[in-house]
Amino acid sequence: MGIVLLFLIPVVVFSIVSVVLVGVLGAALPALAAYPDFTWVMDPWFQALIKMTLLILVVVMPLASILTWMERKQSAKMQDRGGPNRAAILGARAWGIPHFIADAVKMIMKEDFIPAKANKILFSLAPVMAIVPVFVTFAIVPFGGDVCTHQLTQVVANPALCTDKVTLQVARLDVGLLFYFAIASLAVYGTTLAGWASYNKWSLLGGLRASSQMMSYEVTMGLAILGAFLVYGTLEPHAIVLAQGPLPWHWGIVYQPLGAILFFTAAIAETKRTPFDTPEGESEVVGYFVEYSGMRFGMFFLAEFIEVVFLSAIMATVFFGGYEFPFLFPDGFHLLGHSLPLPHVAVLLIQTAGWGLKVIFFCWFQLLIRWTLPRIRPDQLMDLGWKKLLPVSLANVVVTAVVVLALMAR
């Protein structure tokens, strides 16, 4: 029963999510645009706004909030415990899921405390600086294929060719993943400021650790994913997804297994979660947010989980075919010579739901890692980053480049 639910619930949830996303963006808005007064709904800026809002409201925030519960429940299950199971809405305990609501209420109601000697402006700014960049980075994640708004019910062989397209991606930037690196490195300000502005030696230590760690691992992260860029010849996430296609043996994980592992490791270090949580290190420095309480702390807390979601999305996009569903081509399933033609809308729904499932799988996997591995020491952390991951990722880039060059020359 539990196992069945474990798979069933995400499938159902992400089906609904994909219906909402595709329905609003691919059907409702274009339909609205048919009225002369509402043509502006198809304007790129409005589209971007709607997509961002929908993405955040339907996918990111629910997922991040539910992760706060999932983290505790999953760790409990891994450790043979019960996990949270008390909070209830009207008596419905629902495996303790209402705990994330209880948490939110608690955080909002708690005293918002600012230490006497803290720098008030920076102290208030830090949580915002931490959470905003992680939201912004979602702009480049493609969560579904292009929607041909006029051919929703037909079988479309090549969406690239249709005229009226709505992209299921907030911003299709040529710089693509570079945008992610650029924005993500802003997040380090949040933590550093928090550590410094709190006027507390422990939080300062935590902040210093956080900044050194995030800067070190950014290098590895960039180099690790460089191999993938060489293979796909692009930085743009949607193009990367298309380059991988629906056949799993063409996915990035097959071409760049080492790159994938390196990137995943470095990216977990970027999220500052165990085993790379020395900036928080509950047992040693308690972290850059030790002086924070209430919703300000909540923002740091939430930012961490949004980063988890985002990292999952990037893993899925770059190394696991993005929204591509195995063997699902734009015109339907093709497997071992059999084929099952599907209308455009069905393909889109399956793709988006599949994307969601990939994301939640990686979230689950990150939690699994977080509750399995022990924290490493700060010096080991630096060792790992600079002396191990960096050379290996450099080697990965060089080897990939040579192979790609050889293949291109042939």
Partner 1 sequence: METTFRKRTSKATVKVVPRPETLNKELMLGGIIQGLAVTMRHFFQNVAREKPEVTINYPEERLKYPLRNRGLHRLMHREDDSVRCVACMCCPTACPAHCITIVAEETGNGNEKRPAIFEIDELRCIVCGLCVEACPCDAIRMDTGEHMHVVDRRDDAILGKVDLMKRGISSTAVQGGEPNWQERVKTVPDPRFR
Q: 338: which strand partners?
A: 335
The correct pick among 32, 102, 104, 369 for binding partner 1 (CB under 8 A) is: 369
Question: Which CB atom, from 79 or from 283, has the smaller least distance to partner 1?
Answer: 79
Contact 63, 313 (CB under 8 A): no
In the complex with partner 1, the residue whose CB is nearer, 34 or 373, is 373
Q: 83 or 142: whose CB is closer to partner 1? A: 83
Spatial contact of 159 and 241, defined as CB atoms under 8 Å apart: no
CB 178 within 8 A of CB 235: yes
Nearer to partner 1 by Cβ, of 85 and 234: the residue is 85
% helix, strand, coil for the chain, step of 5: 70, 5, 30
Does 105 bind partner 1 (CB under 8 A)? Our answer is: no
Least distance to partner 1, CB of residue 261, Å? 8
Of residues 70-89, which lie at the interface with partner 1 (CB under 8 A)? 74, 76-83, 85
- Quick check: 371 binds partner 1 (CB under 8 A)? yes
- CA–CA distances in Å: residue 283 to residues 76, 279, 287, 397: 20, 11, 10, 38
Q: Kindly state whether residue 12 participates in binding partner 1, applying the rule CB under 8 A.
A: no
Q: Indicate whether 1 belongs to the interface with partner 1 (CB under 8 A).
A: yes
State yes or no: residue 158 binds partner 1 (CB under 8 A): no
Element (H, E) at 404: helix 390-409
Is 91 among the residues that bind partner 1 (CB under 8 A)? no
**For residues 183 and 312, what is the distance between their CA atoms, to the nearest angstrom?**
17
Answer yes or no whether residue 2 interacts with partner 1 by CB under 8 A: yes
| Residue with smaller CB distance to partner 1, 333 or 371 | 371
CA distances to 2, 71, 181, 221, 269 from 136, rounded to whole Å, are 36, 24, 11, 19, 20
Query: Quick one: 101 or 368, whose CB is closer to partner 1?
Result: 368
Kindly report the number of other CB atoms within 10 A of residue 387's CB atom.
Answer: 10
Q: 10 Å Cβ neighbour count for 43?
A: 11
Candidate ranges 1-9, 115-123, 195-203, 286-294; the one touching partner 1 (CB under 8 A): 1-9
- Considering the rule CB under 8 A, would residue 3 count as an interface residue with partner 1? yes
For position 9 contacting partner 1 by CB under 8 A, the verdict is: no
Separation of alpha carbons 170 and 167, rounded Å: 8
Cβ closest to partner 1, residue 41 vs residue 261: 261
If one asks whether residue 13 binds partner 1 (CB under 8 A), the answer comes out as no
Q: Measure CA 359 to chain center.
A: 7
How many residues bind partner 1, per CB under 8 A?
19
Segment interacting with partner 1 (CB under 8 A) among 150-158, 220-228, 337-345, 365-373 = 365-373
Instruction: Confirm or reject binding of residue 111 to partner 1 (CB under 8 A).
Output: no
Q: How buried is 320 (Cβ within 10 angstroms: 0-12 exposed, 13-18 middle, 19+ buried)?
A: buried
CA–CA dist 126, 174 (Å, integer): 30
Annotate each residue in 321-360 with x if it binds partner 1 (CB under 8 A) or - if it does not, as one string: ----------------------------------------
Binding site for partner 1 (CB under 8 A): 1-3, 6, 74, 76-83, 85, 368-369, 371-373
